[in-house]
């Protein structure tokens, strides 16, 4: 029986300096998510002693186990999870696969693979519940992978019906626009392509992202991570009813224009936050501000993720 506290890192690893641990004991949200809701972006970290962190990682987190993730799922009222391979595990998907196998069919996964991945390895990942791969272009998280190697990966995963999840910063979209537009599978953009929310939601930078979604009907996005994008922060300001107010016009715009291609996730255990660790209950209470009607909420939390991750039914 482990005696470690929830924010510890096991296996002889030491957390990166300044690391913020995930928040144990989130508030019960006021907003009740609909039956069948999916937390479509979350991670597991280690535990390091069982699933060592990758040598090429850019940060060392505190452990965040599958059991702790499933306890959060139940507490917030979600039915299922989509667990996304975190960069601290590189292309070693063992922690992810273990979590999927423990979920009893209630989780799907998005893996990281290298260009030399074999058909047999992909078949094993598929059997565990993996349905996509993640390509990361955020420079502080990964070393750049050449696009021809990503093309090779796409050619291998497309026949399985998998999709590609992409993570990039808004300022890099112009350079990546054509490469992304040529990917033939479904494409899921993490956190709305990380807009700079101090800029105008009607300005050219966010307009490019909206154009990208308009021109490419295979592109979906997660309207997640207000805590990562916000500069106004988690407290309601005078005269405002909710936290992360500055993110609302961006996320709501996307939900209203593309109601059938949006997903939502907690991003638990919230890697690399520098300023504050969010209360996941508060994040759930943010949902009705960006998806104001029951119909939009149902699409965002149930219909869309179920169509993408459990198309065969549940
Ligand atoms: C996120 C965001 C981040 C990290 C990762 O895989 C990761 O390490 O995704 C980040 O640092 O912005 O979606 O979890």
62-111 tens-digit pLDDT: 999 999 999 999 999 999 999 999 999 999 999 999 999 999 999 999 99
- Classify residue 146 by burial, with Cβ atoms within 10 Å: 0-12, 13-18, 19+: exposed
Q: What is the pLDDT of residue 243?
A: 84
What separation in Å is there between the alpha carbon of 109 and the centre of ligand 1? 15
- Classify residue 101 by burial, with Cβ atoms within 10 Å: 0-12, 13-18, 19+: middle
Number of H helices, E strands in the chain: 11, 8
Using N-to-C axis directions, what is the helix angle for 204-215 and 173-181, rounded to 10°? 0
- Give residues (CB < 6 A) around ligand 1: 43, 86-88, 141, 190, 228, 267, 271-272
What are 186-236's pLDDT values in tens digits? Answer: 999 999 999 999 999 999 999 999 999 999 999 999 999 999 999 988 876
Average pLDDT over residues 145-174: 96
Q: Which of 45-49, 130-134, 142-146, 245-249 has the lowest mean pLDDT?
A: 142-146
What are 139-153's pLDDT values in tens digits? Answer: 999 998 888 999 999
Average pLDDT over residues 270-287: 94
- Classify residue 104 by burial, with Cβ atoms within 10 Å: 0-12, 13-18, 19+: exposed
- Give the predicted TM-score (pTM) of the model: 0.96
Instruction: Supply the residue whose CA is at minimum distance from atom 13 of ligand 1.
Output: 267
Beta strand pairing status for 80-84 and 163-167?
Answer: unpaired
Tokens of 9: 């890192």
Give percent above pLDDT 90 in the chain: 89
What separation in Å is there between the alpha carbon of 279 and the centre of ligand 1? 17
Give the chain's domains with CATH numbers.
Answer: 28-309 (3.20.20.140)
What are 253-264's pLDDT values in tens digits? Answer: 999 999 999 999
* Buried b / exposed e along 246-263 (16+ C-beta atoms within 10 A): bbbebbbbbbeebbebbb
């Amino acid at each position: 029986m482990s005696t470690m506290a929830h924010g510890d890192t096991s296996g002889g690893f030491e957390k990166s300096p300044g690391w913020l641990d995930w928040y144990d004991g989130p508030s019960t949200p006021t907003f009740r998510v609909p039956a069948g809701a999916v937390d479509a972006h979350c991670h597991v970290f280690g535990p390091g002693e069982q699933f060592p962190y990758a040598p090429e990682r850019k940060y060392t987190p505190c452990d965040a186990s599958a059991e702790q993730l499933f306890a959060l799922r139940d507490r917030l009222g979600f039915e299922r999870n989509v667990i996304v391979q975190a960069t601290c595990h590189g292309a070693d998907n063992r922690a992810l696969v273990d979590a999927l196998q423990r979920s009893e069919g209630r989780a799907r996964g998005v893996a990281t693979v290298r260009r030399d991945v074999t058909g047999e390895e992909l078949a094993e990942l598929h059997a565990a519940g993996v349905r996509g791969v993640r390509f990361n272009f955020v420079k502080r998280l990964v070393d750049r992978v050449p696009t021809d190697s990503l093309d090779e990966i796409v050619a291998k995963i497309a026949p399985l019906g998998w999709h590609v999840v992409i993570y990039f910063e808004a300022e890099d979209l112009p350079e990546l626009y054509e490469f992304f537009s040529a990917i033939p599978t479904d494409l899921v953009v993490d956190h709305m392509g990380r807009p700079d929310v101090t800029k105008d939601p009607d300005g050219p930078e966010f307009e490019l992202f909206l154009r990208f979604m308009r021109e490419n009907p295979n592109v979906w996005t997660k309207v997640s991570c207000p805590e990562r994008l916000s500069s106004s922060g988690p407290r309601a300001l005078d005269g405002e009813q909710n936290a992360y107010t500055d993110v609302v016009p961006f996320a709501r715009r996307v939900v209203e224009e593309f109601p059938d291609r949006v997903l939502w996730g907690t991003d638990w255990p919230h890697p690399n936050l520098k300023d504050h660790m969010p209360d996941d209950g508060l994040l759930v209470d943010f949902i009705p501000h960006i998806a104001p009607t029951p119909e939009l909420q149902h699409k965002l939390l149930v219909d869309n993720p179920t169509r993408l991750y459990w198309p065969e039914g549940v």
